[in-house]
Amino acid sequence: MKTVNRPCPKKDAEALTTGVPAYTEDLIPPGSLCIKLLRSPHAHAKILSVDKRAALAVPGVVCVLTHADLPAARCTYAGQCAPESSPLDRYILEDRVRYVGDPVAIVAAETEQAAALAVRRLRVEYEVLPAVLDYEKALDAPVVIHPEADYCNRVAIGGDPRRNLLCSHSAAYGDVEEALARCDVVLEDTFHTQAAAHAMMETFRSFSYYDYQGRLTIVTSTQVPFHIRRIAAEALGLPPSKVRVIKPRVGGGFGAKQSIVSELLTAAVTFATGRPAYLIFTRRESFTASNSRHEMRLQVKVGATKDGIIRAIELYALANGGAYGEQSYPTSLLVGHKTIPLYAHAAFRHRADFVYTNTLPGGACRGFGATQGCFAVETMVNRIADAIGMDPAVLRLRNIPHPGDTMPAYFGDVLLSSGLDRCIQTGKERFNWDQRRFRREVAPGKVRAAGMAITMQGSGVPMKDVCCATLTLNDTGFYSLQIGATDIGTGCDTILAQMAAEVLSCRLDQITVDGVDTAHSPYDKGSYASSTTYVTGQAVLRAARQLREQLLDEAARRLEIPRCRAELNEQGVCDRENPEKALSLSALSGQLVLRPDCHYLTATAEHCCTYSAPPFMAGFAEVEVDLFTGAVTVTDFLGVVDCGTVINPALAATQAQGGILQGIGMALYEEVSRSSSGALRENSFLQYKIPARPDAPPIHVAFEPDWEPTGPFGAKSIGEVVINTPCPAIAEAVRQATGVSCSSLPITAEAVWRGIQRLSKE
Amino acid sequence: MKLSLYVNGTLCHSEIAPGTTLLEFLRGKGLMGAKAGCDTGSCGLCTVWVDEVPILSCTYPAARAQGKHVTTIEGMRQQAALLGRYLAENGSEQCGYCSPGLIMTVLALEKEHPAATDAEISAYLAGNLCRCSGYAGQLAGIRAYLNRGKGALE
């Protein structure tokens, strides 16, 4: 292959590295109103009145909007294919606020100073309600968070808002009791994972205006432009044709921007005033008033026979959905369905209950529940391996599914490709696992050891995700690829162009890529669920093949040669048997467009995946623990990934390294806590510590690709699978080094130190 | 208040509100390379130079730059593009949002410590956060950039 499987630099690299205006904030039209929000200081309250008079008197203030000024149409902010599985449980603004940070009023002014001053001048009378801050106490609590009559589910998800039950999912296979009775070792524990923040470098932001066709146009840093178009029209009561969404370059998403966050608040101002307006979330707002990873308590029971076969897995997860139910249901599915299938011989029982609380809503977050489930299940499997005296890597090799196996815990799908066995074996060798996994003292009071874990994810949401692509040969001899897939920094514009270039036998620079403007781009459900390469890629592949056929037909006719002799290359089309006889791409395209016998060559293709091909990874972590302080440092990490054919090795390796470091941050640094009134304490980078450069260990990545028959060029996904293993691998390394079992994230120095003290007293 | 300073070599006279940060001032001039990322001086996205020294423009009052020479990534386009190519070789610019701030800091590092070790590079760039890349590819790209002309790729 000439273009696929090459580390091509991203098409936007030069623009991004030289500071060309390309992101939402860089493009705000002059004269736009600045929007600031008044946010609730209470975790749960009714808004009795809002006195706007003093705010409106501030010079430069143009409008103040409260719930009384906006349409009352229940919607969800979750960017999902319709019908959404997330409950319709929100208004843009409501007379009830459900967490500290929930917006109360929108202020728009000619200047930022005026908007900020007007926010301070608003006088709100609240009836403070008792709040549910602890998700352990939410189910059947006397306080009901969503008592509204127009609460609505478009898809049955097992929830009951009267009980604060957002959704519930369960699944089972085999006779768990019988399997447990046959086991030589059965271990059980409870785990806790935190409401980690996405912490992408560009906070939430959008601006809006009416275009010349009277369309309410929202320019936004999002992963889901087409879902926003649909939901914004519903929420604002506009015809769908009167809403347009444009996605410029995006400064990272990690799932956070799979939800509507700023967009409707911005659009409401343009809707109300007719004026262009912008809303930029501060970092504090980004932490406290958006969405986070779902916090979870996971109870796991795992049983194995002494030959190392995992016979039974019981997994119960209770998760904090927060104030609104964005993406809770899909997250509930992934907790078990992307962890248990790795153990092919296990009977299982899995349930996940998500509850409403008066805290920051949970939302889509890289890994999507699989990360939380992986921490719990993989940690338990490591302990099982220890209990029966087996190398945990060897134990995995005895349990993993192989191509051709039916996976009862993966919706009964048959596994079509897997390089997981090679991921484990290669990882063992390259990491020098057999030596490094055991505890050794490297300096007085400093010990090292290693741990490992395996994981899987999916590639797209089967039977729901539809992605389209349009390829055109232009009048002047270059191709354009139009996509609705949203490059949020991962490089999908480039990766998809690589696929098209491969089929069209051209150079990457002969294809321009444009996305996303819902007025011009073909439909795409957006970039989430690790789907862009796998699902949109198939659409691009199909469109490119169709265009290639059209091109060869036309060129053969015009060259007067048999079709089978026409050969496409980067110059154009030539006669295979007489290469002198050729039509350059520009000559051909000119003939095709600029003459009476014209034939404008364009192909649009779509793809809906019917199977979500799982990528796999084996992760190996070495840690050093300071026995005096309990401080844990990761000294080395190796991830070996099967993402199928690697379309762009440089971008895939970076995705892996970034995901692994994000996982390390979740494992060790990223702490989340709330005040007694429910305010999130970690609301800046001063408190919420994402890994900085000196924190980052050497992170090595290797690929063990297996050809995936359902993916473009044999590819699967990589975006999410890479974040899952650091938490369990590091927890195991700490246990090997110190004997301390960490069941709660992050693994702080204090927790390890306390564990060491406890063990020394026993 | 009145402010006179040099921006990328050109003398500018402006009227600013007293609390204006240098970042707000520069973006107001249409120089969109430097970004706001944190509001607390902790992420490095807004890095520009004042008299050749990298500073965080989101917490630097514009008034403090009176009479000084401010350099933004727009004024370093060629050098930025070259370093950017080394970063892009590894795909390590990713979303690119941290790139201008990172690049301005690396270009300062190059002048100050042209022979920096990997650990020195990481320490110098500790204030430049990136959530996408995991830093490994960026370090390799920066390493290759600093080693260019020493038999490495140009």
Which residue among B42, B95, B98 sits closest to A488, beta carbon to beta carbon?
Answer: B95
Mean pLDDT, to the nearest integer, of A405-419? 97
Among residues A548, A574, A608, which one ends one of the domains? A608
Q: Share the mean pLDDT of chain A.
A: 97
Does A311 share its domain with A354?
yes
Looking at the structure, tell me whether residues A318 and A396 fall in a common domain: yes
**A283 in the same domain as A178:** no
Strand order in the sheet with A185-193: A165-173, A347-356, A310-322, A295-304, A185-193
To the nearest whole Å, the CA of B66 is away from the closest chain A CA by 23
Taking the Cβ of residue A151 and every Cβ of chain B, the question of whether any pair is shorter than 8 Å is answered with no
Co-location of A125 and A138 in the same domain? no
Residue B58 reports pLDDT greater than 60:
yes
Task: Tell me, yes or no, if A467 comes closer than 8 A to chain B by beta carbon.
Answer: no
Q: Show the DSSP H helices in A153-215 as ranges.
A: 176-182
Q: Chain B within 8 Å of A156 (Cβ-Cβ)? A: no
Q: Are residues A82 and A230 in the same domain?
A: yes
Cα torsion B45, B50, B55, B60: sign: negative
Mapped onto helix, strand or coil, the DSSP state of residue A721 is: helix
Per-residue pLDDT tens over the stretch B63-81: 999 999 999 999 999 999 9
| CB contact A594 to B (< 8 Å) | no
Q: Is A698 on the interface with B (CB under 8 A)?
A: yes
| Residue-range definition of the domain harbouring residue A481 | 466-608
The DSSP H or E segment spanning A205 is: strand A205-210
> Which of B39, B89, B136 is the closest to A282 by Cβ?
B39
Task: Indicate whether A583 and A626 sit together in one domain.
Answer: no
Q: Among A18, A249, A252, whose Cβ lies nearest the Cβ of B132?
A: A252
Residue among A494, A631, A429 nearest A12 (CA)? A494
Q: Report yes or no on A37 lying in a domain.
A: yes
Decide whether B2-74 matches B75-146 in CATH topology. Answer: no
Q: Does B16 touch chain A (CB under 8 A)?
A: no
Q: At what angle do helices A726-738 and A749-761 cross, to 10 degrees?
A: 30
CB atoms within 10 A of CB B117: 10
Task: Report residue A762's pLDDT band, with 50, 70 and 90 as the boundaries.
Answer: confident
Q: Are residues A203 and A231 in the same domain?
A: yes
Determine, for residues A490 and B122 on separate chains, whether the beta-carbon distance falls below 8 Å. Answer: no
**Using N-to-C axis directions, what is the helix angle for A726-738 and A649-668, rounded to 10°?**
50
Query: Where are any strands of DSSP class E within A445-531?
Result: 446-456, 466-473, 479-483, 511-514
* Domains: count for chain A: 4
Task: Give the pLDDT of residue B149.
Answer: 81
Q: Are strands B69-71 and A205-210 parallel, antiparallel or unpaired?
A: unpaired
Would you say A107 and A36 are in contact if contact means Cβ atoms under 8 Å apart? yes
* Share of residues in chain A with pLDDT > 90 (%): 99
Q: Is residue A2 part of a domain?
A: no
CB A23: neighbour CB atoms within 10 A?
Answer: 20
- Window 60-119 of B, Cβ < 8 Å to A: 72-74, 77, 80-81, 83-85, 87-100, 103
Of A14, A18, A657, the CB nearest to B133: A657
Q: What is the CATH number of the domain that holds A251?
A: 3.90.1170.50
A181 contact partners, CB below 8 Å, separation of at least 6: none
Interchain proximity A283–B38, CB inside 8 Å: yes
> Using a CB-CB distance cutoff of 8 angstroms, which residues of chain A are in contact with residue B33?
18-20
From A487's Cα to the closest Cα of chain B, the distance in A is: 9
Instruction: Determine whether the interchain pair A491/B132 forms a contact, defined as Cβ–Cβ distance below 8 Å.
Output: no
Residue among A201, A653, A693 whose CB faces B97 most closely: A201
Q: Is the residue at A491 inside a domain? A: yes
A689 in contact with B at a CB cutoff of 8 Å? no
Whole-number percent of chain B with pLDDT over 70: 97
Backbone angles phi, psi at A546, to 5 degrees: -65, -45
pLDDT at A45 over 70: yes
Distance CA A739, CA A521 (A): 55
pLDDT-based confidence at residue B151 (cuts at 50, 70, 90): low
Residue A402 lies in a domain: yes
pLDDT tens-place string over residues A312-328:
999 999 999 999 999 99
Last residue of a domain, one of A288, A316, A347: A288
How does pLDDT run across A359-371, given as a tens digit for each residue? 999 999 999 999 9
Identify whether residues A551 and A485 lie together within a single domain. yes
ipTM above threshold 0.95: yes
A106 in the same domain as A37: yes
User: pLDDT tens, A515-527?
Assistant: 899 999 999 999 9
Both A721 and A625 in one domain: the answer is: yes
Say whether residue A23 is in contact with chain B using an 8 A CB cutoff: yes
Instruction: List CB contacts (< 8 A) between B94 and chain A.
Output: 252, 489-491, 654, 658
Q: Which of A5, A14, A16, A662 to mutate to test the interface with B (most CBs of B within 10 A)?
A: A16
The set of residues, in sequence order, having a beta carbon less than 8 Å from that of A444 and lying 6+ positions away, is none
How high is the pLDDT of residue A49? 98
Are the C-beta atoms of residues A357 and A322 closer than 8 Å to each other? Answer: yes
> Would you say residue A357 has pLDDT above 60?
yes
Chain B stretch 123-152, residues whose beta carbon is closer than 8 A to a beta carbon of chain A = 123, 125-137, 139
Do both A588 and A557 map to the same domain? yes
Of A561, A581, A608, which residue sits at a domain end?
A608
Tell me how close the Cα of A185 comes to any Cα of chain B, in angstroms.
38
Please tell me the predicted confidence (pLDDT) of residue B150.
78
Question: Taking CB atoms and an 8 Å cut-off, how many pairs form between chains A and B?
Answer: 193
Q: Tokens for A514?
A: 């444009």
Q: Is residue A123 part of a domain?
A: yes
CATH superfamily, with its number, for domain B75-146: [2Fe-2S]-binding domain (1.10.150.120)
CB contact under 8 A, A692 and B129: yes
Say whether A650 and B98 touch across the interface (CB within 8 A).
Answer: no
CA distance A13 to chain B (A): 6
H helix intervals, A352-391: 370-387
If pLDDT is split at 50, 70 and 90, which confidence band does A543 have?
Answer: very high
Is A698 found in the same domain as A645? yes
Q: Which residues of A touch B127 (CB under 8 A)?
A: 692
Query: Which alpha helices (DSSP H) does chain B contain, by range?
Result: 22-28, 77-89, 99-112, 118-124, 136-146
Q: What is the pTM of this model?
A: 0.98
- The C-alpha of A125 sits at a distance from chain B's nearest C-alpha, in angstroms, of 30
Among chain A residues, the shortest Cα distance to B80 is held by A18
Residue A5 lies in a domain: no
Q: Look at residue A439 and tell me if it is in a domain.
A: yes
Nearest CA of chain B to the CA of A132: how many Å? Answer: 30
Q: Would you call B134 and A203 a contact, using CB atoms and an 8 Å cutoff?
A: no
- Chain-chain contact of B81 with A685 (C-beta, under 8 angstroms): no
Mean predicted confidence (pLDDT) in A720-738: 98
Report A:102-121 residues touching B (Cβ under 8 A): 113
Q: Model confidence over A544-558: pLDDT tens digits?
A: 999 999 999 999 999
CB contact under 8 A, A699 and B134: yes
Contact of A526 with A515, CB cutoff 8 Å: no
Question: CATH no. for residue A760?
Answer: 3.30.365.10
| B51 CA: distance to closest CA in chain A (Å) | 20
Query: Domain map of chain B by residue range?
Result: 2-74, 75-146
Task: Specify if A248 maps to a domain.
Answer: yes
Residue B154: what pLDDT? 43
Contact A684 B38 (CB under 8 A): yes
pLDDT band at A274 (very low <50, low <70, confident <90, very high): very high
**Any idea which fold B2-74 has?**
Ubiquitin-like (UB roll) (3.10.20)
Nearest of B15, B46, B27, B43 to residue A278 by alpha carbon: B27
Is A56 an 8 Å CB contact of chain B? Answer: no
Asked if the Cβ–Cβ distance from B85 to A13 is below 8 Å, we say yes
Q: Which residues of A touch B23 (CB under 8 A)?
A: none
Residues counted in chain A: 762
Residues 6+ apart with CB under 8 A from A103: A37, A38, A39, A40, A93, A97, A265, A289
Q: Output the DSSP codes for A123-149.
A: EEEEEE------GGG-TT-SS-S---T
From edge to edge, which strands make up the β-sheet containing A479-483?
A511-514, A479-483, A466-473, A602-608
**What confidence tier does B152 reach under pLDDT thresholds 50, 70, 90?**
very low
